[in-house]
Structure 1
Amino acid sequence: MFGFGKKAKKLDGIDILIIKTIEAKNRNFYQVAFPSVVANDVMSMLQKLEKSKINQQEFLGEIGGFRIVTHLEALTSYNVLDDADMEAQPVQIADFANILLRRLEALAESGKLGESEELAFIMGELTMLRDGSFVPQE
């Protein structure tokens, strides 16, 4: 019974990751937003990708070499104060996953990435994030 209200709020909230890029042309960082209810799955996959040999600019483009610097949990709201700055607006997880997935699919089709369990896992997780399979449909 204790802490039930806190758990319920977490499930209704929004998590935001701040992901720093090494040498991106258009951004120094990405804010990636996703429902708190899928936070464990999203964090697990992105941390695995962060530590992976795939996390290089030659594979992921300007996102390559990223590192997760902050995880904000169970927010009930956020305000974007500078609409003109594209870094101020969080990117939805489906869009972020789509960016990564398109890049990896192109590399896989061209044969530049060998097949591995790690790559298959990451691409499967990104596909679910892109398609909304992680998010419970209500």
Structure 2
Amino acid sequence: MFGFSKKEKKPDGTDLLLIAVDSQNRSLYQVAFPSIVANDIVSMLKKLQRSPLNKKDYIGEIGGFRIMTHIEAATHVEILDEADLQAHPVQIQDFANMLLMRLEALEQSGKLEDSEDLAFLMGELVMLRDGSFVPQK
């Protein structure tokens, strides 16, 4: 892993994932979440990235995403181009909700078969969307 320096993880910092997507609307998502839960969130999103569900047919415009960069324990993020939506970080709750809505719709329509992986991912996404995964301050 490439790093600028060895820093101790700050539990009150914010982590960012830069996620590449191949979409007409955008090519990048910055997903922000508290550093204290970074390991769980990153491992879950890596599992989804490797999953057969990571296709446009399943999760829409985010389908085929790949995690490019993990920025750990940032204490300040400054948006320099306010007009560009890609410059704004998406909170993990909103990102999880986008994924979850798509998967729930596919499950209800019968296009997805029940599996342990699907149940695990949907459970994790529900907790992220509802904020029960991320400690409240």
TM-score range, shorter chain: over 0.9
**Which whole-Å deviations, capped at 9, do the CAs of 1:4-63 have from their partners, x for residues lacking one?**
x934xx1010000000012x1111010000000010110011000000000000001000
Higher helix proportion (structure 1 or 2): 1
What is the match of residue 3 of structure 2?
none
SS at match of 1:59: helix
Cα distance, 1:135 vs. partner?
1.5
- Distance (Å, rounded) in 1 between the aligned partners of 2:85 and 2:76: 18
What is the match of residue 33 of structure 2?
34
| TM-score normalised to structure 1 length | 0.92
- Distance (Å, rounded) in 2 between the aligned partners of 1:115 and 1:6: 40
What is the match of residue 45 of structure 1?
44
SS at match of 1:81: coil
- Distance (Å, rounded) in 1 between the aligned partners of 2:28 and 2:45: 15
What is the match of residue 84 of structure 2?
85
- Distance (Å, rounded) in 2 between the aligned partners of 1:88 and 1:135: 23
> In percent, how many aligned pairs have the same letter?
63
Cα distance, 1:134 vs. partner?
1.2
- Distance (Å, rounded) in 1 between the aligned partners of 2:8 and 2:29: 28
> How many residue pairs were aligned?
131
- Distance (Å, rounded) in 2 between the aligned partners of 1:137 and 1:80: 24
- Distance (Å, rounded) in 2 between the aligned partners of 1:134 and 1:37: 11
- Distance (Å, rounded) in 1 between the aligned partners of 2:24 and 2:110: 26
Q: How does 1:1-138 map to 2 (within 5 A)?
A: 6-7=8-9, 10-22=10-22, 24-138=23-137
RMSD over aligned CA atoms reads 1.1
- Distance (Å, rounded) in 2 between the aligned partners of 1:56 and 1:137: 32
- Distance (Å, rounded) in 1 between the aligned partners of 2:26 and 2:135: 31
Q: Which runs of 4+ in 1 moved over 6 A?
A: none
Tell me the amino acid that sits aligned with residue 111 of structure 1: G
- Distance (Å, rounded) in 2 between the aligned partners of 1:62 and 1:136: 29
Tell me the amino acid that sits aligned with residue 14 of structure 1: T
